[in-house]
Amino acid sequence: MMPVLDFPSCPRLPSLLLALLLKLTGTSVEDFQVNQPESSVSAKVGDVITLGCNIPAPSPVGPVLWFKDARLERKLIYSFNGRRFPRVSPVVNPMANQTDYSIRIRDVSPKDAGMYYCVKLTIGHPDMAYIAGPGTYVSVSGVTHEMFKVQQAEISQTVSPGETLTLSCSIPDSFPNGPVLWFKGTGPNRELIYNFQRGLFPRVNQIGNMAKAGNKDFSIRISEISLKDAGTYFCVKFKEGNPDIEYQSGRGTKVTVTGTRNNFVPDTPGRHFLATRGTNLNKNLL
């Protein structure tokens, strides 16, 4: 018999009740199985994968769900109840006496790697998991090392006073939930430059769209650069917690501020004379 998943919120269905429900449908305990034909599926980043699942009909009334991983770390991947799951769709449209509960997952990323289970539940309060397929393991290949790092494209930048500085930062969406902060310097005395979630930073603006799902761009712009802005800037990813824990930092971008403001002209005697002469000419023209 296929394994029965133990979900803390969905207690295991007693074997006698399971046998009774199957008897009412004309199916024996030994015959009833959730079939996942592929034990493993390999994919590359950006691929579309199909996860197969077949459940014999008739079967006891109740929903069919897809989960990633089991027990406490399980994650609901798809439900055939009409709810929307942005990257997941059924292979076959829902119908009476349906037996094919396969799904497709598009735009595969490294975070999609893991074991997937097709699970049959019975109607109850709450629904109770009573039997699951053996699981299909999904591996994601073609992943570069950079896909697991905070990326700061520029090692160094040179700007002049008064200019606007752009600091780039890209963070993989496979990282755990948590905020992203920009700092100048390192160690306990580092200076907070920008927080994407809260705070006022008059000269700093974000570039990426934080409201967009899957946003990876955490670049910023700093306006009205001055000599005191020289230093090394770090884009830092934190893992959500209480308190948040630093997860990974970019390699840093060293900023050098040199020269003078582009619109500044030294105040020389000749310049003062020309300015005064121009004022007198303007007065004569009036």
- Residues 238-262 have pLDDT tens digits of 998 889 999 999 999 999 999 755 5
Over residues 186-218, the pLDDT tens digits come to 999 999 999 999 999 999 999 988 777 778 899
Average predicted confidence (pLDDT) for the chain:
78
* Domain 33-141 fold: Immunoglobulin-like (2.60.40)
What is the value of pTM for the model shown?
0.46
* 100 CB-side CA count, 13 A: 13
Domain with CATH 2.60.40.10 in the chain: 33-141, 151-257
The residue type found at 32 is: F
Indicate the fold that domain 151-257 takes in CATH: Immunoglobulin-like (2.60.40)
Helices marked H in the chain: 15-24, 269-285
- What is d(CA 87, CA 229) in angstroms, rounded to the nearest whole number? 43
Cα–Cα distance, 34 to 53 (Å, whole number): 7
Amino acid (1-letter code) at residue 95: M
Q: Residue 4 contacts by C-beta under 8 Å, 6 or more apart in sequence?
A: 12, 13, 129, 130, 131, 132
* pLDDT for 10: 39
CA–CA distance, 2 with 20 (Å, rounded to integer): 18
Confidence of residue 126 (pLDDT cuts 50, 70, 90): low
**Under 8 Å between Cβ of 194 and 206:** yes
Reduced to 3 states (helix: H, G, I; strand: E, B; else coil), residue 30 is coil
Closest CA to 235 of 214, 216, 257: 216
Cα(22)–Cα(124) distance, integer angstroms = 15
- pLDDT level of residue 57 (50, 70, 90 thresholds): confident
Is omega for the bond preceding 3 within 30 degrees of 0, making it cis?
Answer: no
Round to whole Å and give the CA distance between 109 and 174: 8
φ/ψ of residue 272, rounded to 5: -65, -40
